[in-house]
Amino acid sequence: MDLANLKNKSAKITFKLDGEEVNIEFHPHRLTPEYRAGLQRLAQDETDEEPRDSDAQMLSDLLIKWDVMAGGEPYPPTYENLLTAPQSLVTRTALEILEAVGKLATPKKSKK
pLDDT in tens, 34-49: 988 888 877 666 665 6
Predicted local distance difference test score (pLDDT) of residue 105: 85
Rounded-to-integer distance, Cα 61 and Cα 64, Å: 8
Predicted local distance difference test score (pLDDT) of residue 108: 78
What angle, rounded to 10 degrees, do the helices at 54-62 and 33-44 form?
A: 150
Predicted local distance difference test score (pLDDT) of residue 50: 64
Predicted local distance difference test score (pLDDT) of residue 9: 94
Within the chain, which residues score under 70 in pLDDT?
43-51, 110-112
Predicted local distance difference test score (pLDDT) of residue 51: 63
Q: What are the residues whose beta carbons fall under 8 Å from the beta carbon of 106, sequence distance 6 or more? A: none
Predicted local distance difference test score (pLDDT) of residue 4: 85
Prediction pTM value: 0.84
3-state SS assignment for residue 24: strand
